[in-house]
Amino acid sequence: MRAVAQRVRRARIRVGGAVVGEMGAGLLALVGVGRDDGPESAAELARKLVHLRVFDDADGRRNASLLDAGGTLGVVSQFTLFGDARKGRRPSYADAAPPEQAEPLVERVCDEARALGVAVVTGRFRADMDVELVNAGPVTILIDTARRF
């Protein structure tokens, strides 16, 4: 699985003009599922997101996790994270998992994060979403559970 995790001051997710998810400070993660991913990848990604130390501690150092900071995790499914644009100008999405495989794994990320004690907000799977966010820092981290980067 892949994620683009952004530390945010706030974020809002809309579908058709209606707000489906809204959060204050925390991490907003755009999450993509690959064909080779399974439940263990989802659990690993959730643990990584929840424990990623990108928040300031009492000394002003980036040494605190989402749990430490008391922030919210926003999860937005984004299959385009598996887009391959190495050839030509039109990305191939052949490595992205089909929706039937991807949706339960994105839900698993959310469930695992909640079990670790973090509030979670989500977008709507397979919907055309507008995602608004204020990136704090800015801090943006790329995560790949297969460790390809």
Looking up tokens 């887009």, which residue turns up? 83
Tokens of 63: 């040494």
Q: What amino acid positions are annotated as catalytic residues? A: 78-80
Residue spans of beta strands (DSSP E) within the chain = 2-15, 18-23, 26-32, 55-56, 62-64, 72-77, 119-122, 129-144
In whole angstroms, give the CA distance from residue 127 to residue 140.
24
> Residue 42's closest CA among 93, 97, 91, 124?
97
CB 67 within 8 A of CB 117: yes
User: SS in 3 state form for 27-70?
Assistant: EEEEEECECCCCHHHHHHHHHHHHHCCCEECCCCCEEECHHHHC
